[in-house]
């Protein structure tokens, strides 16, 4: 009884019991089976992406599907079927271009142009030492 009297006096205070109750309620909300329904909807949308083009590798097609899934995650409900189809076309075209850039062999041994290289401004670069 002593604990309940104390809780009544401290209605605005966070007690261990209230904290545990809110934690359990929050976890129950995140583990709700609704997430499975959303996953099924995403899988259904990915199935509508179409077949892999013959001239595209499996890794490149996986990247197209990953980017398409991200577009659907952000804009999914706002896009029409035609816009989704056009998005797949654009992503596939861009992936073809990226594949050719990535496969280009640079004569001086540098990595491809699609790699971000970060240099320390305080250290002299090899180009400036010539």
Domain ranges of the chain: 38-102
CA-CA distance, 78 to 116, in Å (whole number)?
32
Q: Note the pLDDT of residue 39.
A: 47
With 90 as the cut, is the pLDDT of residue 126 above it?
A: no
Residues 6+ apart with CB under 8 A from 67: 91
In this prediction, what percent of the chain has a pLDDT beyond 90? Answer: 18
Q: What is the pTM of this model?
A: 0.49
Mean pLDDT confidence for 40-62: 72
With 70 as the cut, is the pLDDT of residue 66 above it?
A: yes
Mean pLDDT confidence for 13-37: 62
Q: Note the pLDDT of residue 2.
A: 58
12 Rama class: left (phi>0) / alpha (psi -120 to 50) / beta:
alpha
């Amino acid at each position: 009884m002593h604990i309940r009297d104390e809780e009544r006096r401290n209605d605005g205070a966070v007690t261990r019991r209230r904290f545990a109750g809110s934690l359990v309620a929050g976890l129950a909300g995140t583990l709700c089976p609704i997430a499975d329904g959303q996953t099924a909807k995403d899988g259904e949308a990915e199935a509508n992406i179409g077949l892999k083009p013959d001239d595209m590798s499996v890794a490149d097609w996986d990247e197209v599907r990953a980017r398409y899934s991200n577009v659907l995650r952000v804009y999914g409900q706002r896009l029409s079927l035609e816009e989704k189809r056009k998005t797949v076309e654009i992503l596939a075209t861009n992936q073809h271009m990226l594949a050719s850039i990535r496969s280009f062999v640079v004569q001086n041994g540098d990595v491809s142009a699609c790699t971000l290289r970060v240099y320390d401004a305080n250290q002299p670069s090899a180009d400036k030492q010539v």
